[in-house]
């Protein structure tokens, strides 16, 4: 029986050290993109009911994320199976978000304000908020209405007189 020939070159300097992965290659990424992107777009078009804009957005998102992962050393990020799984996951995420948004909208439209009971804490919050808003309103109103125009004019005049006297005295 003959000795098996290793399929990969070995690191002869230190056989215990694992071999470093090849650095990411733009050519490899582009080749994989050209190979997998048509298949992914077709899949997403079918899965979205021919919503071209959504399928294109999802495809772009998958490839941007794959490129970033690949650039950080994840060689598997550009494999077709990985890309297709990522596409499926992005689609599922999108559908879940859309479903949640639709449920929220349906709840908002289905209920009128009087049919949703408020507990004591909610009433307490609203009463406290009303008190704070009223106080702020009154404070702002009193700042602008407490001074009559004649009072404001005489204050400005006395301020100018004080400034002039300070200037003349050299202080």
Question: Which residue range forms the structural domain that includes residue 149?
Answer: 124-169
Residues 100 and 148 in one domain: no
Quick check: is 64 in a domain?
Answer: yes
In 88-120, which positions are buried (b, 16+ CB within 10 angstroms) versus exposed (e)?
bebbeebeeeeeeeeeeeeeeeeeeeeeeeeee
Residues 142 and 71 in one domain: no
Burial class (CB in 10 A: 0-12, 13-18, 19+), 66: buried
Quick check: is 44 in a domain?
Answer: yes
Residues 37 and 66 in one domain: yes
Quick check: is 76 in a domain?
Answer: yes
pLDDT tens readout for residues 63-82: 999 999 999 999 999 999 99
How many domains is the chain partitioned into structurally? 2
Residues 94 and 131 in one domain: no
Residues 104 and 128 in one domain: no
Quick check: is 60 in a domain?
Answer: yes
pTM of the model: 0.53
pLDDT value at position 9? 46
Residues 78 and 147 in one domain: no
pLDDT surpasses 80 at 113: no
Residues in the chain: 171
Residues 46 and 104 in one domain: yes
Give the lowest-confidence range in 79-88, 119-128, 136-145, 149-158: 149-158
pLDDT tens readout for residues 34-63: 999 999 999 999 999 999 999 999 999 999
Quick check: is 21 in a domain?
Answer: no
Quick check: is 1 in a domain?
Answer: no
């Amino acid at each position: 029986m003959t000795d098996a020939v290793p399929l990969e070159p070995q690191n002869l300097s230190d056989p215990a050290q694992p071999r470093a992965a090849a650095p990411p290659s733009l050519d490899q990424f582009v080749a994989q993109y050209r190979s997998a992107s048509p298949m992914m777009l077709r899949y997403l078009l079918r899965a979205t009911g021919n919503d071209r804009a959504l399928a294109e957005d999802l495809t772009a998102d998958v490839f941007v994320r794959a490129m970033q992962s690949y650039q950080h050393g994840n060689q598997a990020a550009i494999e077709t199976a990985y890309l297709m799984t990522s596409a499926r996951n992005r689609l599922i995420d999108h559908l879940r978000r859309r479903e949640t948004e639709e449920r929220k909208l349906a709840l908002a439209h289905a209920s009128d304000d009087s049919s949703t009971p408020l507990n004591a804490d909610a009433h307490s919050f609203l009463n406290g908020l009303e008190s704070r808003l009223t106080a702020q309103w009154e404070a702002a109103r009193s700042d602008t209405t407490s001074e009559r125009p004649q009072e404001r004019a005489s204050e400005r005049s006395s301020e100018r007189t004080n400034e002039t006297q300070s200037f003349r005295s050299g202080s």
